[in-house]
Structure 1
Amino acid sequence: MAILDPTEHARIAEAIRSAESGTSGEIFAVAAETSDSYRFIPLLWAALAALFAGIAVAFLYPLAEAWLTAPAPGNEWLAQSHDLWGDALDARVVAAGEIVLLILLGLLASLPSLRPLLVPEFVRRQRAERHAMQQFMAHNLHGTAGRTGILIFVSLAERYAAIIADQGIDAHVDQSVWDEIVAELIEDSRKGALADGLVKAITACGKILEEQIPAGRENPNELPDKLVEV
């Protein structure tokens, strides 16, 4: 399923062309649904939950058994029931219950909408940062003539955005400038206005490039002017 529709893609492509018209730098945009499958971490949580459930049963069952068999008024029917099933809740039954619980929790934790929420924030950020750098390299932003490529990256599941600027432009811009653009992009993304946020970020990056690296007599377009969805 596409993140943005064709009209929004066209708006972003036009914003890139406009931003690059006054600079020899290059801007490229990537949007990702998620930066990782996170298949193993939710299963780990499910395994831990099943383990602790088994421990809880192991501790609580003897107490329940003692209460059921105690000759207290009002619980005669419970004692009779206990006599019927006796020691049925033995280690094998507990183990089977843990397996069933593990499977059910594993299936629940594997739901795409729920899975990222079970992953610690630092792990999600780490995976998103790694994905952004992979996209920077994969689309050859490090290979422009003046090392002036800029990647604008968004990963929706992690609520993460980043601007990665190659050394030809990054050396001239304070990190706080990029951080301000990124913060506004994240805010727009959270509001459901990803296309608007990307257009604003592209425009802001274009102004920075135009100030620092204005277009020369020849201004080849080294990278495609488009948003790539991954």
Structure 2
Amino acid sequence: MTGKSRDLLDEGARARIAEAIRRAETKTSGEIVVLVAARAGFYRSAPLLAALACGLVVPWALILLTPWSAAAIALAQIAVVLVVLLAGLHPRVRMALVPRSIRRDRAHEQALREFRTRGLCQTEGRTGVLIYLAQAEGHAEIVADRGVAARVPTPAWSNAIDTLLDALRRDEVEAGLTAAVGQVGTILAADFPPRAVPLDALPNRVITIH
């Protein structure tokens, strides 16, 4: 998805997903955190680069295809650059100007950064798991701490990620996150059974970033 990011979850949706996290964690010693970001980056340089490229290409095209004077071509060049810059002010257009690989890399970097800064790597047994969603980029990722990664291979999360992305495309983010939380909880339960005395070191809440 490269369009305008949808509204983030309302209070009721966040509460229901938090309850899903609580239920999932009753079956495992793993700690699940959900983070939903409106976008992973603003990509402010994208319109500038696009305008520069258009400014370089347009004059040559006009020279080859039209009998216009140098002054007319210069004016057309300026007009095209201004149109691209103005269009790039719109989030939908700006996102469309960014290659998919760059959007994916930016979202991946943001997921790892959030994992570290939110303290998910400080749990006992290193069992923190982050379910990360960047809406504008259409990117979902599950980041697991080393205690979990040592037992659960990365491909094991693919179904949960696919479930979440399918729900995002249908504009059913809450349902997708709830399902993903349940799947992650089931995977964790297989290798990380619940403790006799639950720690619940990380709060069962949904973090949203606008």
Q: Give the TM-score, by structure 1 length.
A: 0.83
Q: Pick from 19, 23, 36: which aligns with 1:14?
A: 19
Q: Pick from 4, 7, 26: which aligns with 2:9?
A: 4
The residue matched to 1:152 in structure 2 has which SS? strand
Give deviations 1:162-187, integer Å, cap 9, x for gaps. 11111111221232221121111111
2:105 alignment counterpart: 126
Segments ≥4 residues shifted beyond 6 Å: none
| Identical pairs, percent | 35
Could you tell me which amino acid in structure 1 is paired with residue 42 of structure 2? Answer: S
The residue matched to 1:223 in structure 2 has which SS? coil
Shift of 1:109: 2.1
1:149 aligns with 2:128: yes
The residue matched to 2:29 in structure 1 has which SS? coil
2:52 alignment counterpart: 47
CA contact (8 A) 1:46 1:109 kept: no
Q: Which has the higher mean CA deviation after the structures are superposed, 26-35 or 173-182?
A: 173-182
1:197 alignment counterpart: 176
Shift of 1:34: 1.1
- CA root-mean-square deviation: 1.7
The residue matched to 1:222 in structure 2 has which SS? coil
- State how 1:86-101 maps to structure 2 within 5 Å: 89-91=69-71, 93-101=72-80
Shift of 1:200: 0.7
Give deviations 1:108-148, integer Å, cap 9, x for gaps. 02211221111111111110100111111111111111100
Q: Distance in 2 between matches of 1:60 and 1:202?
A: 57
1:168 alignment counterpart: 147
Q: Distance in 2 between matches of 1:203 and 1:129?
A: 22
1:58 alignment counterpart: 63
1:34 aligns with 2:39: yes
CA contact (8 A) 1:147 1:166 kept: yes
The residue matched to 2:56 in structure 1 has which SS? helix
Could you tell me which amino acid in structure 2 is paired with residue 216 of structure 1? Answer: R
Bigger radius of gyration: 1
Q: Distance in 2 between matches of 1:95 and 1:208?
A: 62
Unaligned runs of 5+ in 1: 66-88
Could you tell me which amino acid in structure 2 is paired with residue 180 of structure 1? Answer: N
Give deviations 1:3-32, integer Å, cap 9, x for gaps. 011111111110111111122210000111
Q: Which has the higher mean CA deviation after the structures are superposed, 96-105 or 174-183?
A: 96-105
Could you tell me which amino acid in structure 2 is paired with residue 55 of structure 1? Answer: W
Q: Size of the alignment, in residue pairs?
A: 204
The residue matched to 2:198 in structure 1 has which SS? coil
